[in-house]
A and B are shown apart, each in its own frame.
Chain A
């Protein structure tokens, strides 16, 4: 079991499902201990998820970068789903991931806007998957340029330039839609 084969497409679906569950669980645990002391960021959460995943028998990620790529997509899904859900139950007071990300995407961005960003990202991931992943890592997961650069083995300058390109693409996509 020590060999870690590259995940196939089918594997990816399974992984997504399992990652989703994991991240939910981690977020929940984080919440239960966040009583005003230190609160883990999404990045930390993902690092932790990675550590847990890689300790698991038969983990299918060949490296940390690839894991983060998947995980950040999962996180994007979590956040967007959550933003929608949150709006639906504004005062529900239920135990949700919202609390974790009270100050992040879900709270900061309008859920409609977030949905649009999500759709535009789906499109971008077909046109230029590397840029889409960068947005997941940066926007949804809060990794710094330096971290992403280190993860992917490219220069920070490249990451920063790609980031601007991604912004241009997404802005164009969203505004073009709104402008009709």
Chain B
């Protein structure tokens, strides 16, 4: 063998370098000029280049043939402007080849997909090319560009794609490098950006899976095959054939969304699902449907029906679980919803939440725990301890009014901004607390939430003014849960901190919130002082009107607790009046005003006004969507209680039933307050449904006893006595009263109006036994007790009226006609004064009936008939046509008429 000898080669080498950089034509000129200077060298080079041309024609060492492997037939084949070099992959769709441009001097490399011709839809080549062009316009740093799509003259459909060198499927990339959570999320965010870009160009990927999301060695992520699934599925009949086409390739199916398995439309939500599955995989190391080898059928079932376990429950390594718990669980679960419209509305929304998570901000997605998990839990276990949905609603409802309704076009901007920024801080907190709510998967209580909120505020960095708002909001909500100690602790903090806040309104709110809680715990003098302080501090300017309203409302509640009903009504009315002329009227504040005013009326014994005000509040509750909140439950309970006292048991039963449904809606009867059960029993008893009443009373009694609620326990004993008496169980009735008396003496101050009830009921039992003498003694005591309460200005007019009517009944039985009609007339007057004009009530009806009987006994038939007519009107309306008392009134009216 004799090639160039080394010296010769060293001499020629630089000239070869020069010559090889020239074109053939230029090289001829170059050789000519060289031959002038060095003819021998030029001659030698001319021979070299003659041979060079020959070796070119011979395709000497033509490497393509060397590098080509199986299938040998295709290597070197030209597809469009590309020459296939070597196969790099093979799959259900066809084979993938590395290729380079046929016409370029350099290797511009691409990936060419040779597709099974059968995959192209019936509509054929033209559509394939057209769709390909659309996809070709999709350019994004993280999308492997589709360069060309077409069908070769031989009928071979092909796609030319950007070649991603050394791309590794994203899951393997993450696993091999042991990437931490943030690095994984950063990669996923790149993917989401790419998908969002495609979606904004109306292209859905349809087949996102780890093998289509590859990461280059430099960490750049690339999405492959964007939109190609659609390109291939020309016939929309695809879902069924999809499975066969992919030959049961479970890994591809594994990332299909539920709607891709059935006949559901494939939309951007389909990609959201697949991205959720991908995220799940990257966070947990396993597929949502589990890793066990499964048949395609089992997988289909899992995708369509099974809820995947929480990511944080299955993640490996275990150390990952802590950070997944909460927000990431929520984000993944939202993306993986079975119903497309329950998933993130867009890929960007999902990305936003991930970014919020990374910034440690509250995410937008609400965890399943709120409705879904609570619902499932309750379905499984009716005796659940906590009411998730109710808790959430309560927390939100307790926040500062957020429903701003601009009533005038020139609503003052300052005002609106003030309220909005306040509302935002509180809402953000609520959202944050709720989104992170139930890490253990157990339902949570309102107190859990509030404790969490408290801890969040304690940890967070807030401006003083914001912190005051947040502490006030949480303290306020604790008060709504009757957790007064906790409420007071937070509100004292807020009040102290507020002193350094320059905004007078913030100071005023802190003072008035604290006052309210103090008012509920008996510190009434300080509460009053704080209300005064708050009202003095609020500037008299339109932008502070809601702060003034807030203080007046709290002041009304304090006055009610302080037994100053007139003051309570006055403050509640002033709050309502201010709202009526406010530039912006938060609907929630208006609702609050009505509820507080109704409470003030009720405390003042103005039951008609109270009932009318409650009646106005109910439609507002509905309109605001607050009709299933704990507050609505309270409103309906108080409304019902008012109606009972008003003697409208039919209406009361409806209101109280609604209150019970609200409480029970999200949990078991365990959540229903004892007072409410007892009130309901009372309404049923008034409606002569004694058996049901006895049942509810027994439940209320057990709850009151368990809760240590002395007032309710005393009440229910009195009620049980009434029910048993009406059932004819006089011993039982007497036993209940015998139990009630020492209990009431222990828990109530002497001379309390409740003793009038006790004595009156004792009288009724004696009367039922036929012991009229004892009955009269007891009836006298009841009237005397009520008289002294009224004389002391502590209300009790309705008790006195009722006691007088009952004594009148006794007098009638004892044939003391004059005494009977005197008591009855006074009783009617008192009860009419206590109720509102025109209110048709059973209490009043019964009073009129008693008066009618007393008048009849006196022989005053016309007066008796008139009273019986009034009684009938009241009783028919309040109790119904068939109630025993209604019959009594009707008989009396008829008898009186007949006797005339």
Contacts and interface: CB of A to CB of B under 8 A. Distances in A.
A37 B90 CA distance: 7
A176 B107 contact: no
Given A128-B9, A144-B107, A172 B3 contact: yes
A101 B106 contact: no
B521 interface: no
A169 interface: yes
B70 A39 contact: yes
A105 B66 contact: yes
Nearest to A166: B61
Interface stretch (A14-22, A55-63, A134-142): A134-142
B66 A108 contact: yes
A85 B416 CA distance: 91
A119 to B, nearest CB: 5
Nearest to A140: B66
A102 interface: yes
B2 A176 contact: yes
Contacts of B106: 145-146, 156-157, 160
B55 A177 contact: no
A108 B3 contact: no
A167 B61 contact: yes
A29 interface: no
Interface string B72-87: 1001000000000111
Given A103-B68, A105-B66, A164-B20, A173 B1 contact: yes
Interface in B521-550: none
B16 interface: yes
B9 A169 contact: yes
Interface in B282-300: none
**Size category of the binding interface on chain B:** 35 or more
B66 A41 contact: no
Interface in A131-175: 135, 138-146, 156-157, 160-161, 164-165, 167-175
A38 B89 contact: yes
A165 B14 CA distance: 10
Interface string A15-49: 00000000000000000001001111111000000
B65 interface: yes
A104 interface: yes
Contacts of A105: 66
Given A102-B72, A128-B9, A142-B86, A168 B67 contact: no
A41 B4 contact: no
Contacts of A94: none
A104 to B, nearest CB: 5
A81 to B, nearest CB: 16
A176 B109 contact: no
A41 B96 CA distance: 13
B17 interface: yes
B105 A169 contact: no
Interface string B108-141: 0100000000000000000000000000000000
Contact of A119 (B1, B21, B60, B109): B1
Nearest to B58: A171
Contact of A39 (B85, B87, B100, B105): B87
Contacts of B3: 120, 123-124, 127, 169-170, 172-173, 176
A34 B70 contact: yes
Contact of B51 (A101, A104, A168): A168
Nearest to B106: A156
Contacts of A84: none
B8 to A, nearest CB: 9
Contacts of B90: 37-38
A175 to B, nearest CB: 7
Contacts of A82: none
Contact of B61 (A139, A144, A175): A139
Contacts of B60: 167, 170-171
A135 B63 CA distance: 10
Given A103-B75, A156-B106, A170 B67 contact: no
A39 B107 contact: no
B32 interface: no
B105 A160 contact: yes
A173 B109 contact: no
A90 interface: no
A172 B66 contact: no
Contacts of B707: none
Contacts of A91: none
Interface string B29-57: 00000000000000000001001101100
B69 interface: yes
B48 A177 contact: no
B13 interface: yes
B51 A175 contact: yes
A24 to B, nearest CB: 17
Given A104-B67, A135-B61, A41 B86 contact: yes
B66 to A, nearest CB: 5
Contacts of B89: 38
A72 to B, nearest CB: 12
Interface string B1-31: 1111010010001001100110000000000
A123 B69 contact: no
A168 B66 contact: no
A120 B66 contact: no
Nearest to A38: B90
A105 B4 CA distance: 25
B66 A173 contact: no
A41 to B, nearest CB: 5
Contacts of A119: 1
A40 B85 CA distance: 13
Contacts of A37: 90
A126 B702 CA distance: 103
A66 interface: no
B2 A177 contact: yes
6 contacts: A142-B63, A144-B85, A146-B107, A161-B21, A171-B60, A173-B2
Interface of B: 1-4, 6, 9, 13, 16-17, 20-21, 48, 51-52, 54-55, 60-61, 63, 65-70, 72, 75, 85-87, 89-90, 95, 100, 105-107, 109
Given A41-B67, A142-B68, 16 more contacts: A38-B90, A41-B87, A103-B65, A127-B4, A142-B63, A161-B17, A165-B13, A165-B16, A167-B61, A168-B55, A170-B60, A171-B54, A171-B55, A172-B48, A173-B2, A174-B1
